[in-house]
Chain A
Amino acid sequence: MKNWPLWEVFIRSKNGLEHRHCGSLHASDATMALENARDVYTRRMEGVSIWVVPSTEITASNPDDNAEFFEPASDKIYRHPTFYELPDELKHM
């Protein structure tokens, strides 16, 4: 028989904050994954909402390609406010 698949767990610690990845666990289906996530990751009210996602459904960027993949941003310094030199007398900008 197949082993229980792996699920990634994301928890919103309180309303107003985003769900954050906090770890993974094994479960036979989504319902069990949610219940296990509650028992493993929220024993002290660390969450108000849980997402579980089959780990195999996640497509990740490859850190080996980081240089090419993320590079385009680094030479676009004009995207940052400090690129624009303005007189010191100017206030509130």
Chain B
Amino acid sequence: MSDREVKNLEEMFDAKIARDEKIEPKDWMPEKYRQTHIRQMSQHAHSEIVGMLPEGNWISRAPSLKRKVALLAKIQDEAGHGLYLYSATETLGISREELYEQLHSGKAKYSSIFNYPTLTWADMGAIGWLVDGAAIINQVPLCSTSFGPYARAMVRVCKEESFHQRQGFQIIMTLAEGSQEQKEMAQDALNRWWWPSLMMLGPLDAESIHTEQSMKWKLKRKSNDDLRQQFIDQTVPQAEMIGLTIPDPDLKWNEEKQSYDFGEMNWDEFWQVVKGHGPCNKERISARVNAWENGKWVRDAAMAYAEKQENKVVKQAI
């Protein structure tokens, strides 16, 4: 194809997206569109999968059977989200094994918030309330993104997220209404998860490189700063309602802009964690690598069994 032809195709492609038409896997697409989607969708899938680990830490120590079944169901949903997203990513022509390989080798990233440890039961509340809360804010606009399989996966994901956030909030609310010690536990969890949750919504707009292209492709519909403001404005009253304090001395209602002003985030810490120096980066990746490698004999055995059954059928047919 000549450069001129490619440029024509690209213009038609952009126009199609601007008209709110979806792009499906077999449609022509610019190579950059394909690569950007593989990167973002797989990063999203990896986040769902690695995101199970901090919460998995508390399944066996949930304070009641009711809490335990809810947490299990929540984590199982996250596994489902990872699987929807992996299979949507595979439609772009990359295999599941390659995707895993990128995660395991550190080539692919996942949301850095999952590199923080879950120290107390209150963290299960804080994660559902804040981390899933921030995730919802990120994900709702993606339900109308331009790539069909991604948009459809996000619709499914968003339907399931609301339960995650509600079960988390109920955990933290119950603790906040409890004994002094329980209340302190809730406050401590909020203190530790607040800032990472804000930074989870992405770098400041001023420092964000991909935004314009992503907006055009509807991979992003609102800027990181707007999403963050939305998150803060909706979360602060929730904390007030249960008598917890947001750990930000600069947080203040701004009457004029009808939203909260807030303090500076520690981006040095954020980038340290992204680069692999968070408290649990090594532990998270090694958990995934071990699961994959130690499960190899199971995958092989299942495949060997399937092939044997198939051979039997073929023999009978002859």
Contact = CB atoms under 8 A, between A and B. Distances in A.
Interface string B76-97: 1100100110011010000111
Interface stretch (B24-32, B117-125, B244-252): B24-32
Contacts of A64: 28
Given A23-B87, A24-B87, A1 B76 contact: no
Interface SS of chain B: helix, strand, loop or mixed?
A: helix
A48 interface: no
A1 B307 CA distance: 11
B302 to A, nearest CB: 4
Interface string A57-74: 000101110000000000
Interface residues of B, number: 30
Interface of B: 24, 26-28, 73, 76-77, 80, 83-84, 87-88, 90, 95-97, 152-153, 156, 160, 299-300, 302-307, 309-310
Contacts of A25: 83, 87
A87 to B, nearest CB: 38
6 contacts: A2-B303, A24-B87, A29-B302, A41-B80, A43-B73, A63-B27
Given A43-B80, A44-B160, 11 more contacts: A1-B304, A2-B303, A3-B95, A3-B96, A3-B303, A4-B299, A28-B305, A29-B309, A32-B306, A43-B77, A63-B27
Contacts of B77: 43
Contacts of B97: 3
Contacts of B73: 43
B73 to A, nearest CB: 8
Nearest to A24: B87
B90 A24 contact: yes
A43 B76 contact: yes
A53 interface: no
Contacts of A60: 26
A6 B90 contact: yes
B299 A23 contact: no
A26 interface: yes
Contact of B300 (A1, A62, A63): A1
Contacts of A24: 87, 90
Contact of A23 (B24, B88, B304): B88
A4 B306 CA distance: 10
